[in-house]
Amino acid sequence: MRALKLAGCFALVVGWVALAWILAGSVVPDGLSLPHVDVDSVFGRDLVDRAERYERLRLVLWVLGTLVTLGTLALYARYGRRFTEESAAGPLGTGMLLGMLGLAIVWLTQLPFAVVELWWSRRHDVSEMGYLEAIFGDWVALGVTFVSVCVALLVVMGLARWLGSWWWIPGAAVLTAIATVVVFVGPYVYPGLERPDDPGLVARYERIERAEGLRGIPLRVESVSEQTSQANAFAFGVGPSRRVVLWDTLLDGRFTDREVDVVLAHEIGHHSRDHIAKAIGWFGLFALPGALLLMLSTRRLGGMGSPQAVPLALLVAAAWTLVTMPAQNLVSRRDEAEADWKALQATHDPEAARGLFREFAATSLGDPSPPTWAYLLLETHPTLEQRVAMADAWAARQGG
C-alpha cells in the first residue's frame, strides 16, 4: 500500500513537471539577449524620477498592506472560530460564513491603504476615481469575492467531508474546472463592453488578426475614462468566448494608430499563443500543491471538512499565494514577453512599440526599471525597459 502511494505521488510529480514544461514553451527565441537601454534617454530623466517617486510609496503600501493582511489572518486563525456561534447554516454554510468574514476583516484592514493609494494616484493624475466610489464600488467587488470564496469552500469542504484527507487531488481538479467555466463565461457577462465605432480601427484589427493566424475574435471597447487616465487593454475568454478589449483611454488621441496597432497585436498574441488556456493550466498546477498544503495544515483542526479549520485555511492560502507569487509572476512575464514578440512579428513596427512603452510610462507612471525585489515579487509584465529592449532586439534581428 505504501509502495502504491509512493508510486502515485511519483507519477503525480512527474505529471506536474511534464505539464509545466509543456506550458512553459515560448516562441521568443532562446538565448535572445536584450541590448542595454539607456532609460534616461528613452523615457527622460524627469519622467523616470516621477515614476520612481510614484512607485516608491506604492511599494511601501504594498509591503505594509501585506504584513497587515498576514497579521490579521493570523489573528483570525487564532480567534475566528468563535464566529461559528453566529451561524445556523450547518458545517458547509458555517465554513462559508467564516471564509467571508475573514475576507471582510482583511478588506477592512486594507481600506486605509487603498485610500492612501488612491490619494497618491489622484495626486499624480493617474486616477480620477472619487473616494466614495472607490470604497462603495469595492463593496460590489467584495460581494463577488464572497461568492467566489463560497464556491471554493463548498467544493473543498464538500470533498473533504466525502473523501477525507484525499480531497486535495480531486479538489484541485474541480477548482480548475470551475476556473475554466468562469474564464469561459466571463466575457459574456462582463459589463459595459461596446463595439468600436471606428471602422478604421476594426479594419486594422482584422488585418492584424489575420497576420497572427486567427479570425473572428470580437474587439470591444471599455469606457473607463471617467475613472482613470491610465491606458490598458486585455484579452480574455477561451474558445468561442475569446475577446480583445481596449480601454477608451487608448483611443483618446494620446496614442498614434501605429501604437494602438501594437497593443492590438499584443492582445491577439495572447490568444494566438493560447495564454488564457495555459493560465488555467498553471492555475491547476499551483492549486494542486496548494490544496495539499491546506490538507496538511488543517489536519490538526479536523481537516477542511470542519468549519473550524477555515480561518487557518485562509491564512495558509494567503501565505501560499505570497510564496508562489514570484513563480506565478515569472510565468506571467514569460507570456507577456511572448505576446510582445508576437506583436513585433505582426506589425514589424519596433519604433511604434518604443513609442507605446514611452507613452505607457507617461500615462501610468510605471517605473521603467523597478527594484529587483519588486520586479520578482510583483511585476506581471516585463519592465518597460525590458520591453523597449525587446523591440530593439527584434529590430536588430531584422537588420534594422
Partner 1 sequence: MRSVSDPTERVHPVRVTVSDDLRRSRITVLFRLLLALPHLVWVSLFGLAAFTLAFVMWLAVLFERRAPASLHGFLAGYTRYTVHLTAYLCLAADPYPSFTGGKPYPVDVEIAPPAIQGRWGAGFRIVLAIPAFLISSTLGGSVALGSAYGGALAGGFGGLTVVVGFLGWFASIARGRMPRGMRDAAVYAIGYGAQTTAYALMLTDRYPDAVPGRVEPSPELPGHPVAITVDDDLRRPRLLVLFRFPLVVPHVLWLTLWFVLVVAAAVAAWLVALVLGRIPRFLHRFIAAFVRACTHLFAFATVVGRQFPGFVGREGGYPIDLTIAPAARQRRLGVLARLVLVVPALLLASAYFGVTIVVAVLCWLVALATGRVPRGMRDLGAASLRYQAQAYGYAFLLTSRYPDSSPALAAPPEAPPALWLEPAEVV
Q: How far is the CB of 314 from partner 1 (least distance, A)?
A: 15
Where in 163-222 is the site for partner 1 (CB under 8 A)? none
Q: Go through 340-361 and write b for each residue having 16 or more CB atoms within 10 A of its CB, e for each that does not.
A: bbbbbbbbebbebbbbbbbbbb
Instruction: For residue 88, state whether it binds partner 1 (rule: CB under 8 A).
Output: yes
Q: Name the residue nearer to partner 1 (CB basis): 111 or 323.
A: 111
Q: Are 219 and 246 in contact (CB under 8 A)?
A: yes
Q: How many residues bind partner 1 (CB under 8 A)?
A: 22
Q: Are 92 and 154 in contact (CB under 8 A)?
A: yes
Q: Are 208 and 264 in contact (CB under 8 A)?
A: yes
Q: How far is the CB of 82 from partner 1 (least distance, A)?
A: 9
* Residue range at the interface with partner 1 (CB under 8 A); choices 91-99, 313-321, 331-339, 372-380: 91-99
Contact track, partner 1, 46-85, x by CB under 8 A:
-------------------------------------x--
Q: Go through 24-50 and write b for each residue having 16 or more CB atoms within 10 A of its CB, e for each that does not.
A: eeeebeeeeebeebebeebbeeebbeb
Rounded to a whole number of angstroms, the CA Rg of the chain reads: 23
**Cell representation of residue 158:** 464538500
Where in 93-122 is the site for partner 1 (CB under 8 A)? 93-94, 96-97, 100-101, 104-105, 108
Instruction: For residue 150, state whether it binds partner 1 (rule: CB under 8 A).
Output: yes
Distance CA 69, CA 75 (A): 10
Distance CA 244, CA 264 (A): 8
Distance CA 41, CA 9 (A): 53
Q: How far is the CB of 111 from partner 1 (least distance, A)?
A: 12
Instruction: For residue 157, state whether it binds partner 1 (rule: CB under 8 A).
Output: no
Q: Name the residue nearer to partner 1 (CB basis): 101 or 384.
A: 101
Hey, what amino acid is at 329? N
Q: Which residues contact 278 (CB under 8 A, 6 or more apart)?
A: 23, 335
* Residue range at the interface with partner 1 (CB under 8 A); choices 145-153, 224-232, 257-265, 320-328: 145-153
* Residue range at the interface with partner 1 (CB under 8 A); choices 109-117, 139-147, 182-190, 317-325: 139-147
Q: How far is the CB of 108 from partner 1 (least distance, A)?
A: 8
Q: Which of 89, 322, 323, 396 binds partner 1 (CB under 8 A)?
A: 89
Q: Which of 112, 143, 192, 400 binds partner 1 (CB under 8 A)?
A: 143
Q: Which residues contact 268 (CB under 8 A, 6 or more apart)?
A: 205, 208, 209, 212, 214, 217, 235, 244, 342, 346
Q: Name the residue nearer to partner 1 (CB basis): 136 or 166.
A: 136
Site residues, partner 1 (CB under 8 A): 83, 86-90, 93-94, 96-97, 100-101, 104-105, 108, 139, 142-144, 146-147, 150
